[in-house]
């Protein structure tokens, strides 16, 4: 028997969610899930944009993002949990967004494989996936609040670099909330990141990353070496307002143990207004490289002068 569901009317649309679930309660109380974060993301989107939503859940971001990009845009939404995917499809239909939002029952990763879900009954948004057979990662836990396995017929596994070409000639945002598999999603999207330089909105959760054998430092390396700068909302994450404040982070560790990261390429025309593109870390590296050279040059000049007047 499936979980009980309830309908919630919000300013951003109609949603069917699991009864008693954290995400459903956020929709009921605040009018959105992580409403302040959503407001920040929507402020960077434009009509006609193309979005990839890895870990779309019941569509709490996909539905309003579909509204923002409009009929000329497209949102490709991926959800690996069968029960949650059914609600995602139901919510796309309830909001009449079939022409804009394309929903797929799939896990997004860096290579093909078979993944098993571990579901937290009180918070379906915390559902995570582990590769069958371990894959060098943590085994499926057996605590009373979790259940694993989806049967022989499970979700598809999508590698974005292989999946997206041929479907669109642009990509403006990749949103990733996959409970610790974020580095694997990025690893499978390296070509897209280099070609399109999209905005990247990704959850940074150190505990979830560790569970998958990943780290925030790997995330920073993956994005930093491609020319991305890091930002986060410095206001509340969940509230009944749309208030947000974009703050620059030099390193991902500066954001704390759990937050949502907005990564923007240094050359993007969507770089946050009023924020200098000056990269302090890169400048320090340059100084460290140049100072020894300058010192050597001054020493050579000093020797030449002394020889001339000797």
Same-domain check for residues 172 and 296: no
Q: Do 234 and 284 belong together in one domain? A: no
Residue 11 has pLDDT above 70, yes or no: yes
pTM of the model as a whole:
0.85
Whether 271 and 306 share a structural domain: no
Q: Are residues 179 and 284 in the same domain?
A: no
CB neighbour class for 167 (10 Å; exposed up to 12, middle 13-18, buried from 19): exposed
Radius of gyration of the chain from Cα atoms? 23
Q: For residue 230, what are the contacts with CB-CB under 8 A and spacing of at least 6?
A: 220, 223, 224, 248, 249, 250, 251, 252, 255, 261, 262, 263
Least confident of 65-69, 131-135, 166-170, 241-245: 131-135
Express as a percent the part of the chain with pLDDT over 90.
Answer: 77
Asked if residue 306 and residue 268 are part of one domain, the reply reads no
pLDDT in tens, 54-82: 999 999 999 999 999 999 999 999 999 99
> 117 has which bridge partners?
129
Q: Residue 52 pLDDT more than 90?
A: yes
Q: Structural domain of residue 286, as residue ranges?
A: 279-310
Are 30 and 60 found together in one domain? yes
Between 152 and 132, residue with greater pLDDT: 132
Nearest to 206 by CA among 140, 252, 173, 159: 252
Helix (H, G, I), strand (E, B) or coil at 256: coil
Mark whether 183 and 118 lie in a shared domain: yes
My answer on whether 135 and 270 are in the same domain is yes
What integer pLDDT is reported at residue 24 of this predicted model?
A: 97
- For the chain, the domain total comes to 2
Strand intervals (E) in 185-308: 199-205, 228-233, 246-249, 258-265
Q: pLDDT for 234-272, tens place per residue?
A: 999 999 999 999 999 999 999 999 999 999 999 999 999
């Amino acid at each position: 028997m499936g979980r009980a569901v309830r309908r919630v009317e919000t300013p951003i649309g109609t949603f069917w969610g699991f009864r008693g679930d954290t995400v459903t309660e956020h929709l009921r109380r605040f009018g959105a899930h992580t409403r302040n974060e959503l407001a920040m993301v929507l402020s960077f989107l434009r009509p006609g944009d193309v979005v990839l939503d890895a870990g779309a859940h019941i569509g709490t971001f996909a539905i309003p993002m579909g509204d923002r990009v409009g009929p000329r845009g497209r949102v490709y939404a991926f959800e690996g949990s069968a029960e949650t995917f059914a609600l995602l499809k139901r919510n796309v239909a309830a909001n009449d967004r079939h022409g804009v939002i394309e929903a797929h029952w799939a896990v997004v990763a860096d290579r093909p494989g078979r993944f098993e879900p571990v579901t937290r009954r009180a918070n379906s948004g915390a559902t995570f996936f582990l590769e069958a057979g371990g894959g060098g990662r943590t085994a499926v836990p057996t605590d009373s609040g979790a259940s694993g396995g989806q049967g022989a017929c499970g979700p598809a596994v999508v590698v974005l670099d292989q999946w997206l070409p041929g479907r669109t000639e642009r990509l403006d945002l990749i949103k990733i909330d996959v409970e610790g598999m974020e580095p694997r999603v990025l690893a499978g999207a390296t070509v897209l990141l280099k070609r399109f330089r999209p905005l990247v909105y990704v959850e940074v959760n150190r505990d979830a990353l560790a569970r998958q054998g990943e780290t925030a430092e790997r995330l920073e390396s993956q994005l930093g070496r491609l020319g991305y700068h890091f930002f986060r909302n410095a206001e509340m994450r969940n509230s009944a307002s749309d208030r947000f404040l974009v703050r620059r982070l030099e390193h991902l560790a500066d954001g704390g143990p759990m937050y949502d990261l907005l990564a923007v390429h240094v050359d993007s025309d969507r770089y946050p207004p009023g924020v200098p593109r000056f990269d302090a870390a890169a400048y320090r590296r340059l100084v460290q490289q140049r100072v020894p050279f300058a010192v050597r040059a001054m020493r050579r000049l000093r020797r030449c002068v002394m020889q001339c007047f000797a």
